Amino acid sequence: MKSRFFLASALLLAGCQITNTVEEQANTTNKKEESPVQTPAVSTQKDTTKPVITEQVIVITPQEQDDVWQRITMQLAADIPENKQVKYYRNWYLRYPGHLKTVAERAEPFLYYITEEIEKRNLPLELALLPIVESSFDQFAYSHGRAAGLWQIIPDTGRRFGLEQNWWYDGRRDVVESTQAALDLLEYLNRKFDGDWLHALAAYNTGEGRVFRAIRKNRAAGKPTDFWSLDLPKETSGYVPKLLAVADVIKNQKKYGITIPSIANKPVVELVKPGTQMDLAMAANYAGIKLKDLQSLNPAYNHWATSPDGPNHLLLPIDKVDRFNRQFTSNGRQGMKVVRYRVKSGDTLSVLAQKYKTTTKQIQRANNMTGSSIRVGRHILIPVAMQDGDSISAQLATRTQKSHGSGYRTTYEVKSGDSLWTIARSQKVSIDQITKWNGFSKNKPLRVGKKLTLWKDSQSGAVIRTVYYKVRSGDNLSAIAQRYKVKVSDVVKWNQIKGQKYLKPGQKLKLYVDVTKVSV
């Protein structure tokens, strides 16, 4: 159902391999009986009894290409209008070619899978490029509107399309599950808008209700109701042109003089289902890969293990699946490490759960407990991380930061009596880091009032993303901090709010949000 948005005829390349066959042309109508022995004779007439061999023409189908980008571009059929918005975004991508190179690196493990799933549903291949517009293929992307993952799905929509979100797991960041949910949503919207993909895409960005209202408003005023004629929010008005622009650039790389790193047109990851809760560090050991690489492929898990109630599937490099299965089986299908703990005075299940980075329910499950009471001196079993797995995920936070530092950026104002040594000590960073982040030598004197940029490490387990929040009427610091699971004092510090009692509608706040804490 590629409908109005796409030129269906351009997608005929998706058929089987085409070859011309050898045809034998013979005149059988007036065929004469041949004698057993014939004497060759010279004749100027054309011998129609001989086969005519035509030249073979082999057409490589999209699925047979070496590069998955080429597989996609052969099936791109959208009509690219030459309007101001499309030109603006096309020029942006051409001005910053490094962006698409970064996108290609992030997309490498996932693009083949996404392309396969779109083809299975006979959907437009332009949709395979939607994560470029939504998240730049950052699997930990998080927006001010609380949208998460490659497909930037908001909490309510995620639940509506079957994506679980709890302390352990956020299905909006699960590449497999979120892809299915996003495609389900896009198919639903396409049906709602009678096959108009531009309307469907606009609704994916801003909601179907808003697009329907814009259509009704134009219809009542006797105006056209195509996407380009609708009065939509600024972000949505630029959303569809941005997708068309990136499709045009990727399809015509040679024309525009850019090169996007190729991605092999073959599966590179495979889904495994251990059937039990898995410690991520243990799973990485079984597979023979680094923990950070496992977490990068499985960004949905908020903590050190998969969800106890499922899902507990894992994406693994395809060449590591056999090793994982062998190791998992030879170790008795063990997925977790459990310690025997003697209860001390003052212990409660919630205190122990916090100490060992797990949940009360998980401890209850390990001990077949229905209540929450525990007795001093008794032993209980506590599932624990094989190693401090959460701390590894903090390393992933640096990929979209425009700095030499990690974690989040803060500012320190030099006071009278300060020196590099005292600042480094009080801020828990090194002198070398301060000079590197601020671009001056150790010998340069500090000036009172000078503002220094410092990068602070995030807490263990954090995956930090920068969110720019636009203050709305009725907002206050406490409500904003609670919504994004941050401290009021941090919001004040990050935005250098001094003696300001009230926030102003329209004011922009910079927040450093731990995406593993905002799933519920």
Q: Which amino acid, residue 204? A: Y
**Has residue 420 been placed in a domain?**
yes
Length of the chain: 520
227 with 276, same domain: the answer is no
- pTM for the full model? 0.72
416 and 506 share a domain?
no
Residue 45 lies inside a defined structural domain of this protein: no
Q: Are residues 90 and 206 in the same domain?
A: yes
pLDDT of residue 48: 56
Same domain flag for 86 and 227: yes
Whether residue 106 is contained in a domain is answered as yes
Q: Which of 385, 420, 449 is a domain's end point? A: 385
DSSP code of residue 477: H
Cα distances from 385 to residues 233, 300, 341, 388, 391, in angstroms, run 46, 17, 14, 6, 11
**30 is a domain residue:** no
Q: Count of CB atoms within 10 A of residue 493's CB?
A: 13
As a whole number of Å, the CA-based R_g of the chain is 30
Residue 399 in any domain: the answer is no
Asked whether residue 441 is domain-assigned, the answer is yes
The residues with which 293 forms a beta bridge, in sequence order, are none
Report the pLDDT value the prediction gives residue 399, as an integer from 0 to 100.
Answer: 34
State the pairing for strand pair 314-317/269-272. antiparallel
Which residues, 6+ apart, have CB-to-CB distance to 52 below 8 Å?
A: 23, 24, 25
48-53 long-range contacts, Cβ below 8 Å, gap at least 24? 51/22, 51/23, 51/24, 51/25, 52/23, 52/24, 52/25, 53/22
Whether residues 238 and 351 fall in one domain: no
For residue 217, give the CATH number of its domain: 1.10.530.10
Q: How far is CA 81 from CA 77, 105, 143, 240, in A?
A: 12, 29, 29, 11
In angstroms, the CA 395 to CA 399 distance is 8
Burial annotation 463-487 (CB, 10 A radius, 16+ → b, else e): bbbbbebebeeebebeebbeebebe
Q: Are residues 284 and 215 in the same domain?
A: no
Q: Are residues 243 and 380 in the same domain?
A: no
Q: Which of 236, 234, 197, 215 is nearest to 79 (CA)?
A: 197
- Counted domains in the chain: 5
User: What pLDDT score was predicted for residue 462?
Assistant: 66
Tokens linked to 224: 């056209």
Residues 151 and 166: their CA atoms lie apart, in Å, by: 19
What's the DSSP call for residue 165?
B
Q: Residue 242 belongs to what domain range?
A: 70-256
Distance CA 52, CA 450 (A): 86
User: Which residues contact residue 85 at a Cβ distance below 8 angstroms, ignoring those fewer than 6 apart?
Assistant: 237, 238, 241
Q: Residue 2 domain-assigned?
A: no
Residue 507 sits in a domain of what CATH number? 3.10.350.10
Dist. CA 328–CA 283, nearest whole Å = 8
Boundary of a domain, candidates 256, 284, 302 = 256
Q: State whether 166 and 216 are in the same domain.
A: yes
Q: Of the listed 55, 117, 134, 208, which one is catalytic?
A: 134
Phi, psi dihedral angles at 341 (to 5 degrees): -115, 135
CA atoms within 13 A of residue 233's CA, in its CB half-sphere: 13
Q: Are the CB atoms for 493 and 410 separated by under 8 Å?
A: yes
Closest CA to 204 of 217, 215, 218, 192: 192
Task: Give the whole-angstrom CA distance, residue 60 versus residue 63.
Answer: 8
- Of 222, 256, 290, the one marking the end of a domain is 256
Alpha helix positions (H), 397-498: 420-427, 431-438, 477-483, 488-494
Query: Do 361 and 448 share a domain, yes or no?
Result: no
* 3-state SS assignment for residue 184: helix
One domain, residues 350 and 232: no
Nearest to 130 by CA among 174, 176, 182: 182
Q: What kind and span of H or E run contains 512?
A: strand 508-514
pLDDT for res 424: 84
Looking at the structure, tell me whether residues 165 and 240 fall in a common domain.
Answer: yes
* 134 counts as catalytic: yes
Q: How far apart are CA 355 and CA 349, in angstroms?
A: 10
* Residue 51 domain flag: no
Residue 514: which of 190, 152, 140, 259 has the closest Cα? 140
- Examine the domain organization and report whether 251 and 105 are in the same domain: yes
User: Tens-of-pLDDT digits for all 520 residues of the chain?
Assistant: 555 555 433 333 333 333 333 343 434 444 444 444 444 444 455 555 666 666 777 788 999 999 999 999 999 999 999 899 999 999 999 999 999 999 999 999 999 999 999 999 999 999 999 999 999 999 999 998 899 999 999 999 999 999 999 988 999 999 999 999 999 999 999 999 999 999 999 999 999 999 999 999 999 999 999 999 999 999 999 999 999 999 999 999 999 999 999 999 999 999 999 999 999 989 999 999 999 899 999 999 998 889 888 899 999 999 999 999 999 999 889 888 777 889 999 899 988 988 888 888 888 877 878 888 898 988 888 887 765 444 333 333 333 333 333 455 667 888 888 888 888 888 778 888 888 777 777 777 888 888 887 776 554 456 788 888 999 888 889 899 988 988 888 888 888 887 666 788 888 998 988 888 887 6
pLDDT of residue 5: 54
Q: HEC profile for 82-100? A: CCHHHHHHHHHHHHCHHHH
- What is d(CA 244, CA 494) in angstroms, rounded to the nearest whole number? 36
